[in-house]
Amino acid sequence: MLPRLGYSEEADLPRSGVSCIVIVEIHALTKIYEGKQRVTAVDGIDLSVNPGEIFGLLGPNGAGKTTTISIATTRTLPTSGSVRIAGVDVVAHPAEARRYIGVVPQYNTLDRSLTIYENLYFHCRYFGFTHAQARQRSDELLAQFLLSERRKAYPSQLSGGLAQRVQIARAIAHRPTVLFLDEPSAGLDPQSRMAMWNAVQGLRKEGITVVLTTHYMEEADALSDRVAIVDHGRMLAIGSPQKLKETFGAQTIIHLTLRHLDAAESVAAELRLRPGVQNVELAQDSLRVFTNGAEGLLTDLIQAASPLGLRDIAISEPSLETVFIQLTGRDLRE
């Protein structure tokens, strides 16, 4: 038999799991809502998401995160610019693009007339699974998301956290290339939030790329490989949480609480010269060392501070919150 040289039509299209250099490609995206008040929800966003990445869109409410996700998931038409999902233009070929997309919206959109199992089963059928395939996939997902006991329950009988889990299971049922999560922890109690984070991190093992929006900086920090900070429809910065913190001056602060502060000034001057130390401030009963986290610094600091009667050490890790404040001059929660 001759080797197959040609490709079928479908083989040209990247399918779930097929490697593709960029999964989500957003170019010069704008969305203006005309009306009594002209609102520019998205104002020229450019970004690309790589395969297997967990990508966070961080910004306050009204920053344009949800609109960006809506456009990327074919639910909203952009005013200008383009979005490609796995190479497919979402405006020109929305139906095709949806094959690669899974969505967990902000609100609970589970089908209230169907059981949990049926929510998964029929979702699979919508994506062309046969009865046997849909049944197998639904059972598999129920087990994976620890929902097997609730298979016959209706969405109205579930807690917020459980409903969220069903929504995630449903969104990945057709094995999408990329999963969009819009404010996934909105309205969840801390325990459910942790469970949701675990579930999202688990998706990485399946090779699913995740794009999530959040206004919780802890969430963006804990989950994302890369974060884009958006405000007023514009992207202010993009990079790994670590890199953002380094670039925008959010440093680790080591607080050294001291007994004797007499010689503190000279120790501070000496410490300022050390590699990895950005600044040292003298506070009431302590030294505050600003650092970007150099190796072995902590031991050095302890040695240097010992003669001053070191009582306590506290470390404040840098956070995206401080990055956001730096970039916008505002608090995320304002």
Partner 1 sequence: MNNPQPSSDSTLLLKTFFGLLLRDLRVLSRELGPFLLRVGMQPLLFLFVFTFVMPHMAGGSPLASVGPGFGSVLLPGLMAVAIMFSGIAGVALPLSTEFGVTREIDDRVMCPAPVMVVALEKVVFSALQSIIAALLVIPMAIYIPATPVYPDLHRWWLLVLVLVLSSLLAGALGLAIGSSVSPKNIGLVFSIIVVPITFLGCVYYPWAYLDKIRWLQIAVLFNPIVYISEGLRSAVTPQVHAMPAWVVLPALLVFLYVLGRFGLRGFLRRVIS
76 is a site residue for partner 1 (CB under 8 A): yes
Written as six digits, the tokens of 179 are 């999963």
Please identify which residue in 61, 130, 157, 306 interacts with partner 1, judged by CB under 8 A.
Answer: 130
**Contact yes or no for 138/174 (Cβ under 8 A):** no
- Look-up: residue for tokens 């990445």? 53
84 is a site residue for partner 1 (CB under 8 A): no
Written as six digits, the tokens of 104 are 């967990």
How far lies 247's CA from each of 250, 255, 292, in Å? 8, 22, 10
152 is a site residue for partner 1 (CB under 8 A): no
Written as six digits, the tokens of 310 are 């070191």
Q: Which is nearer to partner 1, 127 or 197 (CB)?
A: 127
108 is a site residue for partner 1 (CB under 8 A): yes
Give the interface size with partner 1 as a residue count (CB under 8 A). 43
Please identify which residue in 52, 81, 94, 187 interacts with partner 1, judged by CB under 8 A.
Answer: 94
Interacting residues with partner 1 between 234 and 263 (CB under 8 A): none
Q: Which is nearer to partner 1, 13 or 194 (CB)?
A: 13
Please identify which residue in 46, 80, 126, 331 interacts with partner 1, judged by CB under 8 A.
Answer: 126
Least Cβ distance, residue 162 to partner 1 (angstroms): 17
Least Cβ distance, residue 6 to partner 1 (angstroms): 15
127 is a site residue for partner 1 (CB under 8 A): yes
> Per-residue string for binding with partner 1, 175-214, x by CB under 8 A?
x---------------------------------------
Least Cβ distance, residue 185 to partner 1 (angstroms): 19
- Rounded CA separation 106/163 (Å): 12
- Rounded CA separation 209/206 (Å): 9
| C-alpha closest to that of 42 among 54, 55, 59, 56 | 59
98 is a site residue for partner 1 (CB under 8 A): yes
16 is a site residue for partner 1 (CB under 8 A): yes
Least Cβ distance, residue 130 to partner 1 (angstroms): 7
Please identify which residue in 55, 117, 129, 145 interacts with partner 1, judged by CB under 8 A.
Answer: 129
186: buried, middle or exposed (CB in 10 Å: 19+, 13-18, 0-12)? middle
* Only segment of 104-112, 217-225, 227-235, 307-315 that touches partner 1 (CB under 8 A): 104-112
3-state secondary structure of 36: coil
* Only segment of 67-75, 207-215, 235-243, 274-282 that touches partner 1 (CB under 8 A): 67-75
95 is a site residue for partner 1 (CB under 8 A): yes
| C-alpha closest to that of 258 among 281, 283, 286, 284 | 286
Least Cβ distance, residue 56 to partner 1 (angstroms): 22
| C-alpha closest to that of 246 among 237, 254, 234 | 237
Region class of 329: left (phi > 0), else alpha (psi between -120 and 50), else beta: left
* String of DSSP letters for 271-293: HHTSTTEEEEEE-SSEEEEEES-
- Rounded CA separation 29/35 (Å): 20
**Contact yes or no for 255/286 (Cβ under 8 A):** yes
Contact set with partner 1 (CB under 8 A): 8-10, 13, 15-16, 70, 73-77, 94-96, 98-99, 101, 103, 105, 107-114, 118-119, 122-123, 125-130, 133, 136-137, 170, 175
